[in-house]
Amino acid sequence: GENVGLHLPTLSVQEGDNSIINCAYSNSASDYFIWYKQESGKGPQFIIDIRSNMDKRQGQRVTVLLNKTVKHLSLQIAATQPGDSAVYFCAERSGYSTLTFGKGTMLLVSP
């Protein structure tokens, strides 16, 4: 598969643990944020999004937290499973601009 995870920050957890992946974004004017998951050899898949008028949003086993004061975004994955192993990207957008992606974090889940 694609070695997109090479040289990326890595988070290693045990199956069943909760995982927290962090992202610092750069543009204080960004008003829309997304988390994507990318498995080896595949394109990124949408996980969850959040708008700047919110500070928390929950999905199935995932929660995104947004702290606009310090320009920080986090993705929490509850009861992490081996199938969650992948590279996770945050992306931001301001107004009508295109998405700008972070460099990603590799999540490794051990059985």
Task: Pull the structure tokens for residue 110.
Answer: 């051990």
Of 71-100, which residues contact another protein (CB under 8 A)? 89, 91, 93, 95-99
Question: Cβ closer to another protein: 5 or 109?
Answer: 5
Residue 85 to residues 2, 13, 35, 47, 111, Cα–Cα distance (Å): 14, 10, 15, 14, 11
Q: How far is the CB of 17 from another protein (least distance, A)?
A: 25
3 closest CA partner among 38, 46, 32: 38
Under the binding rule (CB under 8 A), the answer on residue 107 touching another protein is: no
104 lies in the binding site for another protein (CB under 8 A): yes
CB 92 within 8 A of CB 99: yes
Q: What is the CA radius of gyration of the chain?
A: 14
Sheet holding 72-77, edge to edge: 19-24, 72-77, 62-67, 56-58
Size of interface with another protein, in residues (CB under 8 A) = 29
User: Which is closer to another protein, CB of 17 or CB of 93?
Assistant: 93
**4 binds another protein, rule: CB under 8 A:** yes
Contacts with another protein in 36-75 (CB under 8 A)?
36, 41-46, 49
Chain residues binding another protein by CB under 8 A are 2-8, 32, 34, 36, 41-46, 49, 89, 91, 93, 95-99, 101-104
